[in-house]
Chains A and B, each alone.
Chain A
Amino acid sequence: MHFSRKSLGIPYAVFLIAFVLAPLLVLAFYAFTNGQGQFTMANLHSFFGDPNTLGTLFYSFAIACVTTIVCLLLAYPVAYFLAMSRIANKTVVLMLFVMPMWINFSLRITALKEILTVIEGNLAMYPFLNAVIGMTYDFLPFMILPLYTTISKIDGNLREAAMDLGADNMRTFLQVTLPLSIPGIVSGVSMVFLPAMTNYVVLDMLYNSTYIMGSLIGSYFAAYNWHGGSMISLILLALICIFTLLTGSGEEETARGGAML
């Protein structure tokens, strides 16, 4: 058989169809059928008609928004100071901020839990606060990395030009650096916001028993309710699609797991 480079892509294309496309189609089918395989909108109605599940959606949004804002407020100065500083070994310091990504998250949350227990006594007293602290602790490196990459790529001449033209530090930051770092902000936000809506293990481990969107899937899974779980997955997928379209994050900067290395 004649070998061609194109044919190398075939196994991967088949793989993607089998394990990415097919599961999504099955998900859509299950979401709109009942146990007897008949078409139904009941799963959709039971999500949007139930104040509890709508409350879950709202609570997820609240946690995700607060976590994202806290991460941004912490990560932006870190990335900015680091990118602007003149220290010799910047990569080493950056590594320090990124390294936690490579330590298993469940072990890191265990560590956080121990220390929070000492500080707060009873963890169950501050469920929302702990959820935000836990998520921030877990996701902060994912926000720092894309921000640093973007800010450090900004041409220093632009800042100097702004200064030469009479802008003070503040104005240079607000009108030059900040707008140019927006791609980094967008990619950082997308790294944090979605996991914060779905990573229910962080809440579980910190004794926050309130459901977020991910916990709904977990509970349907535990109850063998594939149809209900599929509907929640589909709703999450729709949210992710909207989010991706809004942020327009195409191929660039998919920093999960670190664009590092």
Chain B
Amino acid sequence: MKKNTAFKEFFRGGFLFLVLLFLYLPILLLAVYSFTSSTQIGAIRAFSLKNYITLFTTPELTDMILGTVFLALGSAVIATLLGTMGAIGAFYSKRSASSFITTLNQVPVVNADVVTGFSICILLVIVLHISKESYIPLVAGHVTLCAPFVFLSVMPRIKQMDSSIYEAALDLGATPFAALREVVIPQIVPGIISGFALAVTLSLDDYFIAMYTKPATFDTISTYVVNATKGAQTTIKTALWALSTVIFLIVVLVVLGINLRANRREKEMGRFGRERGGAGKGGRNAEFMD
């Protein structure tokens, strides 16, 4: 019986490991080869930082990276403002207005990005003749992609909120606006932050919306990489390996940071909880999964 469980554990662990290997092997191999002068995986060449130098000194590449980051941050800020206000407004509106917003909000979420991008291009560029060079279609497209997810991550927080605190603030003489700012917003901040983070990652990962709405001379990482893989310029190709490695490292660091912080908070909460009779554990998971 015991042997059987050990085998089961081993089999399960092995399966998880193989799937992880599938997910990470390509990225890790590319990371290793990004530090060599090799132009293809498998060929063994000497250690070299050439790819990283190319990556950070070629204006074409640095412009593209900075452009992508600015676009992501800018669209995420607008999307977070709109989505948060929308969620608060929808929650306190009449049922019909609220379900109108919620339904429309769901469209970009379930829709294919190709269709979202194409339809925005048709409306803004073809019908309204707004030039793509103005960046308006691009930003509008990315905000349309991101705002609904901000809305969806803020809404549960508003629903969980204790509505009597807002009423209490009003009774104590706060204006509705002050009550909103001092009472409501602080309670939904976790939702706003995760909505913002989600918006940034969605914008960074987008290809289709940018493809259909971007100015001809502007590239995001995705549109650039897709074009670069079609052409066969090797210095650029291998510099992108370096980019992939840098992004991978940033993601690892961010994830580690979030985990460490959450762990510390859990420990503090745990201590706090023990003093007050063991309540308050396990909050982290819920917070993470929201």
> Using a CB–CB distance below 8 Å, which chain A residues touch chain B?
3-13, 15-17, 19-24, 26-27, 30, 74, 77-78, 81-82, 85, 91-93, 95-97, 99-108, 110-115, 117-118, 137, 140-141, 149, 190, 194-195, 197-201, 204-205, 214, 217-218, 221, 226, 229-230, 233, 236-237, 240, 244, 249, 251, 254, 256-261
Contact = CB atoms under 8 A, between A and B. Distances in A.
A197 B112 contact: yes
A140 B18 CA distance: 13
Interface string B7-35: 00000100110011011111101100100
Contact of A13 (B86, B177, B198): B86
A201 B259 CA distance: 33
B147 A15 contact: yes
A39 B214 CA distance: 30
A254 B15 contact: no
Chain B interface residue number, banded: 35 or more
Contacts, number: 271
A194 B20 CA distance: 24
Nearest to A74: B19
B104 interface: yes
B251 interface: yes
A156 to B, nearest CB: 14
B115 interface: yes
Interface in B254-271: 254-255, 258-259, 262
A261 B288 contact: yes
B104 A237 contact: no
Contacts of A194: 110, 112
A9 B175 contact: no
Contacts of A197: 112
Nearest to A22: B123
13 contacts: A3-B177, A6-B93, A27-B119, A78-B19, A81-B15, A93-B16, A102-B255, A106-B221, A111-B26, A111-B241, A204-B226, A218-B211, A226-B122
Contact of A115 (B26, B90, B94, B262): B26
A129 B70 CA distance: 37
Contact of A258 (B22, B122, B198): B198
A199 B108 CA distance: 15
Contacts of A106: 207, 221-222, 225-226, 229
Given A82-B16, A118-B42, A254 B109 contact: yes
B205 A104 contact: yes
Interface string B216-243: 0000011001100110000000001101
B126 interface: yes
Interface of B: 12, 15-16, 19-20, 22-27, 29-30, 33, 40-42, 82-83, 85-86, 88-90, 92-94, 97-98, 100-102, 104-116, 118-123, 126-127, 140, 143-144, 147, 149, 151-152, 155, 175-177, 180, 194, 197-198, 201-202, 204-205, 207-208, 211-212, 221-222, 225-226, 229-230, 240-241, 243-244, 247-248, 251-252, 254-255, 258-259, 262, 284-285, 288-290
A254 B212 contact: no
A127 to B, nearest CB: 16
A107 B42 CA distance: 19
Nearest to A153: B289
A208 to B, nearest CB: 13
A92 B252 CA distance: 11
Contact of B204 (A78, A82, A104, A251): A104
B225 A15 contact: no
B67 to A, nearest CB: 14
Contact of B222 (A104, A141, A230, A256): A104
A219 B158 CA distance: 43
A233 B118 contact: yes
Given A12-B147, A240-B110, A110 B251 contact: no
B36 to A, nearest CB: 13
B252 to A, nearest CB: 7
Given A101-B201, A106-B226, A261-B198, A12 B82 contact: yes
A95 B149 CA distance: 20
B27 to A, nearest CB: 5
A115 B25 contact: yes
